[in-house]
Amino acid sequence: MRTMTDTYFPDIIGQERVKKALGFYIDGFKETNCIPHLMFTAPRGCGKTTMATAMAKNLYADGKIKPLITINCSTIKSLKQFFNMIVIPHMVERDATVLFDECSELPKDVTMALLTITNPNKDNRNEFSYEDYNVVFDFRRLSFMFATTEGQSIFHALMDRMERIDLEEYKLDELGKIVLMGLDGYTVDEKTLESISSVLRGNARAGQKMAMKMKLHLDAMNKKHFDAKDWKSLMDKLGILPLGISVQELNLMRYMARKKATRLTELAAITGLSKGAIQKDYELYLSKMGLMEIQPEGRSLTTKGLEYLNELDGVKKHKSDKTSKK
């Protein structure tokens, strides 16, 4: 049975909780021409921009979808640039939906201005004066949406003015559907599709990219069906590892396997990576998958992590000093 969220978001797989919440705001918009300022947060590749764009397609003015203005916030360097290049030409006395993508990159003066511009009130409009301009932001005509991977970095007072929309990582079956969407006219073994989904790290964008690689492989083989043999071949050619572990993560695991505990500074020195990069880009996924743990004395592999290396190497050469790990 087709639901209202299916009607609003026909091309979005998964994210049912998010679609229900956005459907609620769309229903309200139909009566008031207003939505709250929305803040989409999620890890990279989980579909923040895609979801915000789909939301924008449901916001109408005079029977037409309002124009969507997408701002790459890393390109905005000052309040003057923001007003001269975006506000004045695109927001003054216009109907529009504005998406501030990667909004954690906004400069401080723009963030401070947005505190005034987005301040909630019963009239759903605010005025802001800058140099010779006195601009009225009418949120019955304008709809603001924000997207970021760094929700914790957003100035708290600005976040307080938003309705936060937290997207979730995709489940394996949802990732499989995303892969199949990119393979129109091709078929995939069910078990093979499960194996493929397991290396995508919950990431929709990775699923889209994997579909392109699978299609290239099949076209080169003049085939229309992708099976376990094709998947093994593709893994070998592209160096795809179980669970989607990257080469750098694998190297970190090998270093940690050598000792009972390895300090972060030591890992940084050995790999040439910064401590921040190790913590943000590599440890999070290894910890999430239960392959490593962080203790006061240092980083170490879990039993599962050691077993992963053993299985990958095909021999039982990695030994654990901590038999109680799980």
pLDDT tens digits for 120-166? 889 999 999 988 889 999 999 999 999 999 888 999 999 999 999 99
Q: Please check whether residue 66 is in contact with residue 97, taking contact to mean a CB–CB distance below 8 angstroms.
A: yes
CA R_g for the chain: 24
Q: What is the three-class DSSP state of 285?
A: helix
Average pLDDT of 265-276?
91
Beta-carbon count within 10 A of 75 CB: 10
What is the tens place of the pLDDT at every residue in 11-34? Answer: 899 999 999 999 999 999 999 999
Q: Please check whether residue 170 is in contact with residue 202, taking contact to mean a CB–CB distance below 8 angstroms.
A: yes
d(CA 113, CA 186) in angstroms, rounded, equals 51
d(CA 311, CA 49) in angstroms, rounded, equals 38
d(CA 175, CA 14) in angstroms, rounded, equals 9
Q: Please check whether residue 68 is in contact with residue 114, taking contact to mean a CB–CB distance below 8 angstroms.
A: no
Handedness of CA 265, 269, 270, 276 (dihedral sign): positive
Residue 170, amino acid: Y
Percent of the chain clearing pLDDT 90 (strictly above): 83
d(CA 167, CA 9) in angstroms, rounded, equals 15
CA-to-CA separations, 257 to 76, 117, 321, in angstroms, rounded: 45, 53, 10
Residue 257, amino acid: A
Torsion, Cα of 201, 206, 212, 217 (10° steps): -30
What is the tens place of the pLDDT at every residue in 160-218? Answer: 999 999 998 899 999 999 999 999 999 999 999 999 999 999 999 999 999 999 999 99
Give 18-58 as a 3 state SS string: HHHHHHHHHHHHHHHCCCCCEEEECCCCCCHHHHHHHHHCC
The answer to whether residue 3 scores a pLDDT higher than 70 is: no
CA-to-CA separations, 135 to 69, 71, 107, 131, 232, in angstroms, rounded: 18, 19, 20, 11, 59
Predicted local distance difference test score (pLDDT) of residue 44: 84
- Tokens representing residue 91 in the block: 């927001």
Tokens 């708290």 found at: 156
Domains, the chain, in order of start with CATH, read: 4-166 (3.40.50.300), 172-240 (1.10.8.60), 244-313 (1.10.10.10)
